[in-house]
């Protein structure tokens, strides 16, 4: 399994309705793109976030599924809105070090 974590810093000009719509669209990707095992979307509540406001945490069957996720047309639609509304996006992808032991 592959873990995919993405954090977002919203632009000050982004309003709550835009942000909520984007997060909702992100949450729907799990039903539209094959290879996603788990997909969680939410707002940050930690003071340790270094200014990031929201994020996703997702699990993919394998690296091929993750590779197919980014160019998928449904992801690209939401990604375009993310680019318009974020100052920064941080992504981390990894496989558990104990998985192949």
**Domain spanning 2-94, CATH class:** alpha beta
The candidate with the shortest Cα–Cα distance to 82, out of 48, 56, 50, 44, is 56
Mean pLDDT of 62-74: 95
Mean pLDDT score across all residues of the chain: 94
CA dihedral 5, 8, 81, 83 (to 10 degrees): -100
pLDDT at 98 (0 to 100): 85
Distance between CA 62 and CA 35 in Å, rounded? 8
Domain spans, the chain: 2-94
Would you say 97 and 4 are in contact if contact means Cβ atoms under 8 Å apart?
A: no
Would you say 6 and 55 are in contact if contact means Cβ atoms under 8 Å apart?
A: yes
Q: pLDDT digits over 22-53, tens only? A: 999 999 999 999 999 999 999 999 999 999 99
pTM, rounded to two decimals: 0.89
pLDDT at residue 1 is higher than 70: yes
């Amino acid at each position: 399994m592959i873990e995919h974590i993405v954090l977002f810093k919203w632009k000050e000009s982004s309003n709550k309705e835009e942000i909520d719509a984007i997060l909702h669209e992100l949450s729907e990707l799990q039903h539209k793109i094959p290879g996603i095992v788990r997909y969680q979307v939410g707002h940050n509540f930690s003071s340790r976030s270094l200014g990031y406001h929201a994020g996703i945490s997702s699990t993919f069957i394998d690296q091929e599924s993750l590779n197919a996720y980014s160019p998928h047309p449904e992801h690209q639609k939401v990604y375009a809105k993310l680019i318009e509304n974020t100052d920064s996006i941080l992504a981390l992808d990894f496989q558990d070090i104990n998985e192949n032991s």
